[in-house]
Amino acid sequence: MAKITYREAVRRAMIEEMERDPNVFLMGEEVGHYQGAYKCSQGMLEKFGEERVVDTPISEQGFAGLGIGAAMLGLRPIIEFMTWNFSLVAFDQIYNNAAKILYMSGGQIPIPIVFRGPGGAGGMLAAQHSQSLEALYVHCPGLKVVAPATAYDAYGLLKTSIRDNNPVIFIEGEVLYNTSWEVPDEEFLIPIGKADIKREGKDFTIITWNRGFWFTMEALDRILKEGYDPLILDLRSLRPMDEKAIIENTVKTGRVLIIEEGWPRCSVGSYIADFIQRNCFYDLHAPVLRVNQEDVPMPYARNLEKLSLPNPEKIMQAVKTLMSF
């Protein structure tokens, strides 16, 4: 298997699905002539033309609503947000239309649409452009939420998401586009809602997703040098969530550390911690611990941004606390 970048995995998945199904099209700001703000759609305008790679005005609410209408009529839109921070402008369309039309139509009108784009801190982009918003979307019934960490997972999950008949929130890591991973040349799909054990271990279980996995990998050498043997569970999908895998791997080690890029209050990690204590209480040897971004707006300064995000020092401190029980 060749290694390809996360960016190329996203691009390859979109191209293959557009070749396979003429109802699939891409729409968003700068996806066509500029070839994408992060170059995920490079070459796609030339390949598919302006009717299937559609540049839009700067109006997230407008083109999100247009995409939902197209999905209601049988097309399969891929809506790119230049960043998930800008999805807040289209929040009403996503929450009150995309997520609810199937339910409110009595199951008569599916909404096969993918909202995708980069999320999280991008590197000195400050508070309004550095937010991890997955918890907002996991909260909403009617949406599926996917947050892959690797090129392999991004490729397989994006293809599955495009074929799904429900609205999918597909959150890519803003600083992950240049990361590489082995991806087979042949086509494959990854089911939404299936976690992946990225590393077997016996001492404690790290549960993570998206950029949280890479924070974990940054700390892994230090963890191993201290003599600990962690199991790393990458959820990949946040709604539906692989609750069976969470239970099995909690029981296996008896200790859990959750690492996520988002804020700590009412986060995805706080739901996971609650789920574990309700289902695995008597299997735990220690409280479930979490490492999050600090509970503040993201600073602009690079040194303060680094201090705000999960980092090896915070993770190592949490590991030592977890193993002290």
Catalytic residue set: 60, 129
Distance, in Å, from the CA atom of 252 to the CA atom of 270, rounded to the nearest integer, reads 21
Say if CB 235 and CB 242 are below 8 A apart: yes
Length of the chain: 325
Name the H helices within the chain.
6-20, 44-48, 60-72, 91-92, 101-104, 134-138, 151-163, 211-225, 243-253, 268-279, 302-308, 312-323
User: 28 near 66, Cβ under 8 Å?
Assistant: no
H or E element in which residue 183 lies: strand 180-183
Q: For residue 62, give the 3-state DSSP assignment.
A: helix
Q: Which of 79, 82, 87, 84 is nearest to 61 (CA)?
A: 87
Q: Cβ–Cβ contacts within 10 Å for residue 240, how many?
A: 13
Closest CA to 195 of 159, 228, 152, 238: 238
SS3 317: helix
How far apart CA 179 and CA 52 sit, in angstroms, is 28
Other C-beta atoms closer than 10 Å to the C-beta of 75 total 16
Question: Among 22, 7, 5, which Cα is nearest to 162's?
Answer: 22
* Distance set, CA 221 to CA 217, 218, 322 (Å): 8, 7, 18
Cα–Cα distance, 67 to 202 (Å, whole number): 46
The H or E element that residue 222 is part of is helix 211-225
> What does the block give as tokens for 121?
């801190």
